[in-house]
Amino acid sequence: MKADRPLRLVSSVVCLVLAFASCTSNRGADAPTMTGLALEPAPDVSALSLPDAGNGGAPFRTRAAPGGLLLVYFGYTSCPDVCPTTMSDLRVAESSLTEAQQGRVRFAMVTIDPSRDSDELLTRYVRSFAADGHALRTEDATELRAAAAAFGADFGVKDGGMGQPEVLHTGWVYVVDDRGRLRLQWPFGTTSEDMASDLRVLLTEAVGRA
Amino acid sequence: MTSLRIALAVACLAASAGLIACGDDGGSSPSAVAVRDAWARSTADGQTAGAAYMKITGGSVDDRLLTAATPSDVARAVELHETVVAGGGMGSMTMRELDGLDVPAEETVQMSPGGYHVMLVDLAAPLVVGRSFDLVLTFANAGPQTVRVSVRDT
């Protein structure tokens, strides 16, 4: 049945996650269950920095503030379907947290299409989803590729000739803690309830550690 | 997943029931398609492309959605797209432009986030919650159908 299609897409991604998860779920039985995929050991992205277009291009390190979480997304502003869907889900997830929790979660989006996404455009776009969000943009293709690789993200922008450029990107949201460890990643299609639940677990853990 | 599938099946059944009810009114031709729940997500500041989603239920004969169009004060161009998982792993997603979308008789084709969608290229103005706009869908058999698309957040 045709109506199954988006579901099949989600389920294939979920199967992928489960396949990964079964290899990595060797932690204690009392650990709270999270929906997102956790790689072990958690990749270290603390050394990475990208220019923050909303802050005059000042280097922004992909590491959360103490006790907080940083959500990182690789996308582009002319993305009609996947990015706005994910942004909307993230916004719903964040709004279901307490005000204190919301204050500890920051959002950063890295444009994978810097030739079309100007500093100004990207900043407006990011801030319309998250007023305190970070708009990360580099024109250095090597730097962008290295940043994406550190998160395990892939992307590609192919000139579409007369038509729209053909854009490919990993539709995951990455959750980074205050030590700059990539703690969790959510595939496209993760519900806002699951995101919120995972965020609560990680935020509670950060309080316990502080 | 099973419960989702059941929910979808029920939705399809409900859709077919709705179609039959419409048929009882008289007026509609045997090849009529029914388009319901047409919506577009509101756009962010600076977002130049949008997407519209809907449920299309086929009439008594197989049909095919050929094109979609909006007035130029909504978007410069409109394309039919499908979001697909690209090869090569890492959860890469991309969009494929479709030259049409089959709508089998009495089946419901769902256009929804992460799947089939109507892409609005070069929006003339941001899509604002509470507003709506016309979308003309042209089918091979049913011909042009004007659908009112409402703008929502989710």
Question: What value does the mean pLDDT take over residues A131-147?
Answer: 97
Would you place residue A160 in the very low, low, confident or very high pLDDT band (cuts 50, 70, 90)? confident
- Distances in Å between the Cα of B63 and the Cα atoms of A21, A73, B110 are 42, 39, 15
Whether A72 shows a pLDDT value over 70: the answer reads yes
For residue B89, the model assigns a pLDDT of: 63
Q: Can you tell me the distance from the alpha carbon of B72 to that of A34, in angstroms, rounded to the nearest whole number?
A: 46
DSSP string covering chain B: -HHHHHHHHHHHHHHHHHHHHHHHTS-S-TT--EEEEEEEE---TT---EEEEEEEE--SS-EEEEEEE--TTTEEEEEEEEEEEPTTSTTEEEEEE-S-EEE-TT-EEEE-TTSEEEEEEEESS---TT-EEEEEEEETTTEEEEEEEEEE--
A112, A144 contact by CB (below 8 A): yes
Average pLDDT over residues A111-134: 95
Which domain CATH number covers A61?
3.40.30.10
The complex's ipTM works out to 0.81
A125 and chain B in contact, CB less than 8 A: yes
Task: Specify the number of domains making up chain A.
Answer: 1
* Contact state of A187 with B91 under an 8 Å Cβ cutoff: yes
The SS3 of residue A114 is: coil
Tally A–B CB contacts below 8 A: 138
User: Residue A210: what pLDDT?
Assistant: 61
A6-26 tens-digit pLDDT: 544 554 444 444 444 444 444
What is the least distance, in Å, from the CA of B110 to any CA of chain A? 5
What confidence category does residue A165 fall into, taking pLDDT thresholds of 50, 70 and 90?
confident
- Residue B8: which of A3, A125, A127 has the nearest Cβ? A3
Question: B101-148: per-residue pLDDT in tens?
Answer: 999 999 999 999 999 999 999 999 999 999 999 999 999 999 999 999
Among A161-170, A200-209, B45-54, B87-96, name the most confident range: B45-54
Residue B111 corresponds to which tokens in the numbers above? Answer: 């256009």
Q: Is A6's Cβ below 8 Å from some Cβ in B?
A: yes
Percent of chain A at pLDDT > 70 equals 83
Edge-to-edge strand ranges of the sheet holding A182-186: A58-61, A49-52, A134-136, A105-111, A69-75, A173-176, A182-186
Q: How close is the nearest chain A Cα to the Cα of B147, in Å?
A: 20
> Is residue B90 exposed (0-12), middle (13-18) or buried (19+ Cβ within 10 Å)?
middle
Is any Cβ of chain B less than 8 angstroms from the Cβ of A122? Answer: yes
pLDDT single digits (tens) B49-100: 999 999 999 999 999 999 999 999 999 999 999 999 887 667 789 999 999 9
Neighbours of B115 (CB within 10 A): 23
* Partner-chain residue, chosen from B44, B107, B113, that has the shortest CB–CB distance to A81: B113
Interval B39-56 mean pLDDT: 96
Give tens-digit pLDDT for B16-34. Answer: 444 444 434 444 555 689 9
pLDDT the model gives residue A17: 47
Pairing of strands B75-85, B92-97: antiparallel
The confidence score (pLDDT) of residue B19 equals 44
Least confident of A17-31, A61-75, A118-132, A175-189: A17-31
What's the token pair of residue A34? 């999270």
- Closest residue in chain A to residue B88, using alpha carbons only: A154
Per the CB < 8 Å rule, is B94 touching A167? Answer: yes
Please indicate whether, in this complex, the C-beta atoms of A6 and B95 are within 8 angstroms of each other.
Answer: no
Residue ranges of domains in chain B, CATH in brackets:
2-152 (2.60.40.1890)
Separation in Å, CA of B154 to nearest CA in chain A: 7
Task: Pick the closest to residue A177 from A199, A195, A144 (CA basis).
Answer: A199
pLDDT at A181: 97
Query: Does B49 sit within 8 Å of A168, measured CB to CB?
Result: no
Contact B83 A9 (CB under 8 A): yes
Tell me the average pLDDT of chain A: 87
C-alpha distance from B25 to closest chain A C-alpha (Å): 26
Tell me if A120 sits within 8 A of A101, measured CB to CB.
Answer: no
Q: Which carries the bigger pLDDT value, residue A119 or residue A11?
A: A119
Residue contact B85–A12, C-beta within 8 A: yes
In chain B, whose CA is at the least distance from the CA of A20?
Answer: B90
Full domain range(s) for residue A202: 2-209
B114 closest CB neighbour out of A85, A121, A155: A85
Chain A interface test: which of B12, B76, B85, B109 (most A C-beta within 10 Å): B85
Instruction: Work out the average pLDDT over A136-145.
Output: 97
